[in-house]
Amino acid sequence: MADIQNNAVSLEGKKIMWVEDDNFLSGLIGKKLGNEKAILFHAANGEDALAMVAKEMPDVLLLDILLPGMSGLQVLQKVKSNPATKDVPVLLLSNLGQKADIDKGAQLGAEKFLIKATLSLDEIIKEVKRVIAKK
C-alpha cells in the first residue's frame, strides 16, 4: 500500500537538493529528478552544500557520504545542529554500507541510509517521495 501512496506523491515544485561529486551519477540523478518536475539544486562538495541548504531550504536533501573536503556525515551534523536547517530531511547515499557509517547517520538524524550500488534511480526517487509524503 505504501508504494501506491509513494507513487501518487508528486515531486513537481518540490525543492530537491543532492550533493554528489561523481559527475556521471550526479547527471543521472539530476535527469531523473528533472523528469519528476522537481526544483533542483546540486552541490559537489560539503562547503557548497551547507551554503545552498541554508539559502534554498530544500524539501529533501540527498547527501553522499564520500565528498571532497568535508564528509557527508560532517555536513549532516552541521545541517541538523543549525536551528534554521535542522528540519530538512536528509537521505544519505553511499557505495559503502559500513555499519559504523549507517549508525552514525542515524544518530545524526538522517531519514535513511541508501547504498547506491544496491538501488536503482527509481528506488532513490521512491525514497524521496516517501520522505515528501511524511512532511
Please provide residue 65's backbone torsions phi and psi, each rounded to the nearest 5 degrees. -85, -40
Q: Output the pLDDT for position 6.
A: 53
Phi, psi angle pair for 39, to nearest 5°: -85, 120
Do residues 116 and 21 touch, judged by C-beta distance below 8 A?
no
What is the residue whose three cell numbers read 568535508? 70
What's the CA angle centered on 74, arms 125 and 37, to 5 degrees?
Answer: 25
pTM of the full structure: 0.91
- Note down the domain range covering 105: 2-134
Model confidence over 50-104: pLDDT tens digits? 999 999 999 999 999 999 999 999 999 999 999 999 999 999 998 877 889 889 9
Domain tally for the chain? Answer: 1
Confidence check: pLDDT of 132 > 50: yes
In percent, the amount of the chain with pLDDT more than 70 equals: 95
CATH code at position 15: 3.40.50.2300
Provide the pairing of β-strand 90-94 with 60-64. parallel
C-beta separation of 131 from 60 below 8 A: yes
Q: How confident is the model at residue 7 (pLDDT cuts 50, 70, 90)?
A: low
pLDDT reading at 112 higher than 90: yes
Q: Select from 42, 48, 11 the least CA-distant residue to 27.
A: 42
